[in-house]
Amino acid sequence: MDADFWRIQRMKAGDEGAVDAFVRAHYPAILRYCRLRAPEWAEDAAQETFVRFFESFERYRHCGRARNYLYVIAGNVCRDLRRRERELPVEEVPLPPTEDRGAELRVDLGRALERLAPELREAAVLYFAQGLKQREIARILGIGLPLVKYRVRRAREALIAELERKE
């Protein structure tokens, strides 16, 4: 049994300390994921992810890694925010000046990720940024392992091409 199993059992029994421990254990990874998917709303998206998790907590059945389930929720939250962004007129916000090549590369990479098709971007973020295994990504996205491998390979090729074109 993993640590989440015991935390969830304690949370279902009403232990507030277990809720705090659960959020502290998973919030940083979910926030990083949201920063890549919806950087302008990352904190809101991460918080909304936990709100949705706890709203449906009574129906939750722990059968693996809780973080994977949180990634699914976070992906849905970020998609919802992106959809709302397209519906509302948004002013162009200038990017702050970069201080070094590393920061510039992160900005370039973020822009390159944004140019990827949504399904490729989702696989790329989970694989490259979150460091998940392809089998875990397949479970999170609800698709087959061969399709995950294809999407990761295509995303890698597209990102390399985009970054080379920038230089």
Identify which has the larger pLDDT, 139 or 82: 139
d(CA 136, CA 131): 10
Q: Judge if 114 and 73 occupy the same domain.
A: no
pLDDT, tens digit, for every residue of 126-137? Answer: 888 888 888 888
The residue range of the domain holding 127 is: 100-167
Could you tell me if 15 and 59 lie in one domain? Answer: yes
Task: Provide the pLDDT for residue 12.
Answer: 85
- Give tens-digit pLDDT for 28-81: 999 988 887 777 788 989 999 999 998 888 887 777 788 888 998 998 898 888
CATH code for the domain of 158: 1.10.10.10
Please check whether residues 9 and 52 belong to one and the same domain. Answer: yes
CATH classification at residue 50: 1.10.1740.10
136 and 161 belong to one structural domain: yes
The answer to whether residues 51 and 74 belong to one domain is yes
Same domain, residue pair 88 and 105: no
The pLDDT value recorded for residue 50 is: 92
Please compute, for residue 158, the number of CA atoms within 13 A of its CA located in the half-sphere on the CB side. 20
* The pLDDT of residue 108: 75
Q: Are residues 146 and 65 in the same domain?
A: no
pLDDT band at 93 (very low <50, low <70, confident <90, very high): very low
Provide the percentage of residues in the chain whose pLDDT is more than 90. 16
Looking at the 3D structure of the chain, how many domains does it have?
2
